[in-house]
Amino acid sequence: AVSFLESRLRSAAPEGLEVIREFTIDIDRHNRPEPDVIVVPEEPYEDLDQTRLPAESVRLAIEVVSPESVSRDRETKPLKYARAGILHFWRVENKDGRAVVYVYELDPATQKYVATGIFHDRLKVSVPFPVDLDLTAITPKRNRPE
């Protein structure tokens, strides 16, 4: 799911936005989580040796939930991302071998995420940029042919 999202979002991202993975978000000295995929403006991502970005530059953080990361990805990381002011957060889960994407947007009044949609077969959103993805094309690792 991570590679699928990275490649499809990279194709859909407008000029000026970069889709990357394996980067930490610099929230504060004690909090540097690493989402599976993030979307940032191209400007803060100029140094090829850079492995972390300031939280205020992140437009979208995506977590793909695995059995060992359920609590972190459902509870801990969304709270940290919301407190850091990251406007958009997606959580991707495997439900009976199919991808389900939970989409959240930050409520500026409460600084908490509000669910804006749960997508099963097709993900179609207009923010942080227009995206239309066929989620049935995501093949869980255990279902992939050898």
CATH number of domain containing 59: 3.90.1570.10
Question: Could you tell me if residue 145 is inside a domain?
Answer: no
Question: Could you tell me if residue 33 is inside a domain?
Answer: yes
The DSSP bridge pattern shows strands 17-20 and 37-41 to be antiparallel
Question: Could you tell me if residue 136 is inside a domain?
Answer: yes
The amino acid present at 77, given as its one-letter code, is K
Q: Which residues contact 94 (CB under 8 A, 6 or more apart)?
A: 1, 65, 100, 140
Contact 56, 43 (CB under 8 A): no
Question: Could you tell me if residue 130 is inside a domain?
Answer: yes
Looking at the whole model, is its pTM more than 0.85? yes
Domain count, the chain: 1
Question: Could you tell me if residue 116 is inside a domain?
Answer: yes
Domain that includes residue 43, residue range: 2-140
β-bridge mates for residue 12, sequence order:
none
pLDDT tens per residue across all 146 residues of the chain: 999 999 999 999 999 999 999 899 999 989 999 999 999 998 755 666 678 899 999 999 999 999 999 999 999 999 999 999 999 999 999 999 999 999 999 999 999 999 999 999 999 999 999 999 999 999 866 544 44
Question: Could you tell me if residue 88 is inside a domain?
Answer: yes
Question: Could you tell me if residue 34 is inside a domain?
Answer: yes
